[in-house]
Amino acid sequence: MISMIQFSDVLAWIHQLLSSCMAPWLVFLIELVVASVAAVVALLVCVIIMVYMERKVAGHMQLRHGPNRVGWHGVCQLFADIIKLLLKECFTPTRADKLLFVVAPVLSLCVSLLALAPISWGPGLVLWNTNIGVLFVTAISSMGVIGILMAGWSSNNKYALMGAMRSGAQIVSYELSAGLSIVAIVALAGTLNTGGIIESQANGWWILKGHLPAFFAFIIYIIASTAECNRAPFDLAEAESELTAGYHTEYSGMQFGIFYLNEYINMGVVSMVASTLFLGGWQPFYLPFDFGWAHAFNDIMALKFMETWPAWISWVSLAWPLVWFFGKLFLIIFFMMWFRWTFPRLRIDQLLKLEWKYLLPLSIVNLVIIALIVVLGLHF
């Protein structure tokens, strides 16, 4: 029987190949740069798909076509937009706080890309395999609000300031219930390492294994993370009918483009975390039951039938975890787009009421129930 090829084997092989002809520090540097650039490029490709998907989903939900002029079915629309943004002037208002105005978009981008480090893309495919993975993502993504407040305040524009203050209140509030849902899953998995959390779901995703509380935690996390990304129905920060464009009203050209990019990177990171915690990351679907066809189904899902196939075919199975990872990623993103065209925008008092009077108490109670499940060993 030929064993399946794993990413760790491929990575070890590349490492050996490089080590045979180069100094160790050079090997380390090359691997570091290539891996980081690969992760960022993968995310940027996801962002391109997300923007196209957003426009098409929005179009079809409103019974129109969406972009369909530039290229085949409008696939080149985004590139046309990028070129347009590059040709626009990056303008700083005369009365703005010049330094903070320029730093704000750069800071936002830094923060959202740093959250990428502990994300596990596939078995062994992780930039920073750390034991504080999920905590790090929570900590670093909560710093995004600083960039938004900076942008809003330094613009010296009332719309921008109001948008930034709303966004600040919203992001810090919803961070609480997002954090509590994350803690609930960490309690079930017993580790903060993203790879460890995913491996703990090899015999069923937490959303299935953790009974109803885990499902509630998932729903709370999705609501809270939609709010953290400033997406509709929680897009008070850039409510275009009242605040023109919110905190990035005064931004133009590529500085605006960075905020736009940032919004989609945040969506991507949030969805990656959601799929890591609740939907098993790169693990294929697994039925946590003990009867005949469930076993057969799980064997097919784990590609057991490929083990007897010739070696070169099992290379294809390398892509299998990635298919699941990106599939879940885009599924969650599709849900977030669906919310946008389903729910009307909330008012600020409704928004804070939803978080503080409903979601926060609910997620605390939910966490206690999950603790009980863990202690009594009721999960599978």
Applying the rule CB under 8 A, the residues between 18 and 47 that interact with another protein are 28, 31-33, 35-37, 39-40
Q: Which is nearer to another protein, 319 or 372 (CB)?
A: 372
* 205 residue type, one letter: W
Report the largest interatomic distance among the alpha carbons of the chain, rounded to a whole angstrom: 72
Which of 21, 24, 64, 94: binder of another protein (CB under 8 A)?
94
Asked whether 113 and 94 are in contact (CB, 8 A), the reply is: no
Does 48 participate in binding another protein (rule CB under 8 A)? no
Does 249 participate in binding another protein (rule CB under 8 A)? yes
Smallest gap, in angstroms, from Cβ of residue 244 to another protein? 6
Asked whether 8 and 320 are in contact (CB, 8 A), the reply is: no
Smallest gap, in angstroms, from Cβ of residue 305 to another protein? 34
Per-residue x/- track, 283-322, another protein (CB under 8 A): ----------------------------------------
What's the gap between Cα 296 and its chain centre? 32
Q: Which is nearer to another protein, 148 or 302 (CB)?
A: 148
Q: Which is nearer to another protein, 161 or 208 (CB)?
A: 161
Per-residue x/- track, 125-154, another protein (CB under 8 A): --xx-x----x-----------------x-
Q: Which is nearer to another protein, 184 or 337 (CB)?
A: 184
Alpha carbons 355 and 224: distance in angstroms, whole number: 8
Q: Which is nearer to another protein, 54 or 250 (CB)?
A: 250
Query: Where does residue 43 rank: exposed (0-12), middle (13-18), buried (19+ CB within 10 A)?
Result: buried
Residues numbered 153 to 212 that lie near another protein (CB under 8 A) are 153, 155-159, 161, 165, 168-169, 172-173, 175-176, 179-180, 183-184, 186-187, 190-192
Q: Which is nearer to another protein, 306 or 374 (CB)?
A: 374
- ∠ CA 95-101-107, rounded to 5°: 170
Alpha carbons 104 and 99: distance in angstroms, whole number: 9
Consecutive H or E run containing 269 = helix 253-277
Report helix, strand or coil for 142: coil
Q: Which is nearer to another protein, 6 or 252 (CB)?
A: 252
Consecutive H or E run containing 349 = helix 348-353
Helix crossing, 133-141 with 98-114: angle to 10°?
Answer: 160
State phi, psi for 244 to the nearest 5 degrees: 50, -80
Per-residue x/- track, 258-277, another protein (CB under 8 A): x-------------------
Q: Tell me the site size for another protein, rule CB under 8 A.
A: 78
Which of 113, 148, 273, 354: binder of another protein (CB under 8 A)?
113
Does 244 participate in binding another protein (rule CB under 8 A)? yes
Q: Distance between the two ends of the chain, CA-based, in angstroms?
A: 31
Smallest gap, in angstroms, from Cβ of residue 371 to another protein? 5
Strands (E), 187-271: none
Does 100 participate in binding another protein (rule CB under 8 A)? no
Alpha carbons 54 and 232: distance in angstroms, whole number: 12
Smallest gap, in angstroms, from Cβ of residue 274 to another protein? 17
* 69 residue type, one letter: R
Residues numbered 316 to 375 that lie near another protein (CB under 8 A) are 348-349, 352-353, 356-357, 360-361, 364, 367-368, 371-372, 374-375
Return the structure tokens found at 121: 């893309």
